[in-house]
Amino acid sequence: MSTYKRILVTGGAGLIGSHLCRRLLADDHDVICMDNFFTSQKRDIAALLDNPNFELIRHDITEPIWLEVDEIYNLACPASPVHYQFNPVKTLQTSILGAMHMLDIADRTKARILQASTSEVYGDPDISPQTEAYRGRVNPIGPRACYDEGKRCAETLLFDYHRMRGVDIRVVRIFNTYGPGLHPYDGRVISNFIIQALSSQNLTIYGDGSQTRSFCYVDDLVDALVLMMENEAGFTGPVNLGNPEEFTIRQLAERVLEMTGSESTLVEMPLPADDPTQRRPDIALAREKLGWEPTTSLREGLGRTIEAFNLIDLARYRPPTPNRIK
Ligand code: NAD
Ligand code: UDP
């Protein structure tokens, strides 16, 4: 039986999407990358354009589109707080209308659809680690709500299309993921710290740096996405995907300084509103259902990311919004 599939990756030029497209092409599938290049640039996938199995569609997922596909990875959405807060209404539209448009394709073509949800559905959690059963502590009217509530609503839509229309769904809750391919002006903590360290600027710690995150290397995450999509046991999720190793933001800054050999110093800046104080995934369910766990340590993943940032020409990148590191 043929294992070749026509696979749509929305947000396919972004950090996770570009790695996923490369992986799916290596597995010999026909890949359609759809992106509006809000937080990415064509150069992120330029190397794929010559591949006859790769097709690029510049399209905004908030507008309907009809395609013939077998699988959909719905990744389109800005993931960095500074960019998803730039136009919060647009962020909500991207998550909600975008999910509906993709679900309509999945319904019509009988495609399986995987939704990139997020640890942000747990808000500022009062339990640690976070399990899938935890209902979360999201502020519905705060500055992060456009992302958190948009993603929560997208999960709702997937499960309602599943119950009402029998759509074949997969929901993954991704925890902080990083790696080569991060936009240099992305604004998330790993790209900020590395760029700052390499250009002898102070590393900007928001608050006192005692808040925690757990960082997953992008290749590990992509393995999990494919395992989830290919799971034939009818496992819909939601399932947490992330690396359970937890670090404070200050520890991360010190690690970046050590690994880059930078003489930059750490400066404290105001903590953004509703910034979660702790985040660490419980991945027991992913281990059990997918036989997956991350294998790349923070040191190893940071090493590869620093190497990639050392090679890029910042002049070739345009900040996605005016909200970028100074
Ligand atoms: P990213 O910002 O690098 O990539 C997102 C991509 O989506 C970009 O290429 C962007 O241009 C595109 N996009 C945004 N709005 C769009 C629209 N309206 N129409 C079409 N394309 C649009 O982010 P990422 O880190 O690769 O994240 C990918 C997905 O995974 C997102 O849905 C994000 O919410 C989710 N996620 C990521 C993380 C993480 O830590 N990286 C954590 C949790 C969830
Ligand atoms: N952060 C920081 N300095 C920066 C960028 C982010 O201290 O230059 C902090 C931020 O306040 C948060 C953590 O790092 O506590 C992770 O932020 P990021 O924007 O990467 O993603 P989040 O997990 O908050 O969505």
Give the pLDDT confidence of 239-259 residue by residue, as tens digits: 999 999 999 999 999 999 999
The CATH number for 39's domain is: 3.40.50.720
CB distance 77 to ligand 1 below 6 Å: yes
- Name the closest ligand to CA 81: 2
Residue 135: inside a domain = yes
**Whether 56 contacts 114, CB under 8 Å:** no
Closest by CA position to 113, among listed 146, 161, 153: 161
Q: Is 168 within a domain?
A: yes
CA dihedral 158, 159, 162, 165 (to 10 degrees): -80
Q: Give a yes or no: residue 198 inside a domain.
A: no
Could you list the active site residues?
A: 147
pLDDT at 177: 98
> Residue 326 pLDDT > 60, yes or no?
no
Task: Give strand pairing partners of 30.
Answer: 6
Nearest ligand, CA of residue 182?
1
Per the structure, the count of domains in the chain is 1
Q: Answer whether residue 208 is part of any domain.
A: no
How many whole angstroms from 77 Cα to the centroid of ligand 1?
Answer: 4
pTM for the full predicted model: 0.98
Nearest-CA residue for atom 23 of ligand 2: 176
**Ligand 1 nearest-atom number relative to CA 59:** 20
E strands of the chain, at which residues? 6-10, 30-35, 54-58, 71-74, 112-118, 169-174, 177-178, 203-206, 212-214, 216-217, 239-241, 246-248, 266-269
Share of the chain above pLDDT 90, in %: 95
Burial of 68 by CB count in 10 Å (0-12 exposed, 13-18 middle, 19+ buried)? exposed
Does 299 map to a domain? no
74 CA to centre of ligand 1 in angstroms: 9
pLDDT value for 324: 56
pLDDT reading at 132 higher than 80: yes
**Is residue 205 a part of any domain in this protein?**
no
Is residue 273 in some structural domain? no
**304-318 pLDDT per residue, tens:** 999 999 999 999 999
Q: Kindly report, residue by residue over 61-91, the tens digit of the pLDDT.
A: 999 999 999 999 999 999 999 999 999 999 9
- Residue 23 belongs to what domain range? 6-177+217-241
CA distance 268 to 270: 7
Within a domain: 197:
no
What's residue 1's pLDDT? Answer: 55
Q: In a mutational test of the pocket of ligand 1, which residue from 18, 32, 39, 321 has the highest number of ligand atoms less than 8 Å from its CB?
A: 39
Cα distance between the two ends of the chain = 54
